[in-house]
Amino acid sequence: MRVLGNILWIILGGLAIAIGWAVVGLILCISIIGIPLGIQAFKMAGLTLTPFGATVQYGGGVGSALANILWVVLVGWWMALGYLGAGMLNCITIIGIPFGLQSFKMAKLALWPFGAEIVNL
């Protein structure tokens, strides 16, 4: 089921969004200050490419919490809102519910990425 879900996800837009995240990550990595943000963008690109069969484990310390607070204030809240909106739209139909659940998973990561680790099951 994971393979089928990931194939459908990639065909229906996951590849385009993952490429977008990767491009953002490359742009952010141009400057030294942007490298930590670029790493988080690459993390989102990886989860966005194949979200089925992957889970996110949250951890980190004080540094991660401070970076996440800055992230939420600058960009995290509107990215999370975008994923929440996509998730709600997907959950309108029964067929879209698994895709909506993946969007909700990505919304949480988009809101709080520092200290998070993506684990494949």
Q: In this structure, which amino acid lies at residue 104?
A: F
Span 56-68, pLDDT tens digits: 999 888 989 999 9
Helices in 10-93 by DSSP H: which ranges?
Answer: 15-28, 35-49, 62-71, 77-90
Question: Contact at 8 Å (CB) between 46 and 6?
Answer: no
d(CA 45, CA 68): 18
pLDDT(114) > 90: yes
Of 95, 38, 87, the closest CA to residue 67 belongs to 38
Positive or negative: CA dihedral 43, 47, 53, 54: positive
d(CA 117, CA 56): 6
Structural domain boundaries, residue 32: 2-120
- pLDDT score, position 112: 92
pLDDT(26) > 90: yes
Q: Give pTM, 2 decimals.
A: 0.86
Question: Contact at 8 Å (CB) between 80 and 104?
Answer: no
The tokens describing 102, both together, are 């993946």
- Per the structure, the count of domains in the chain is 1
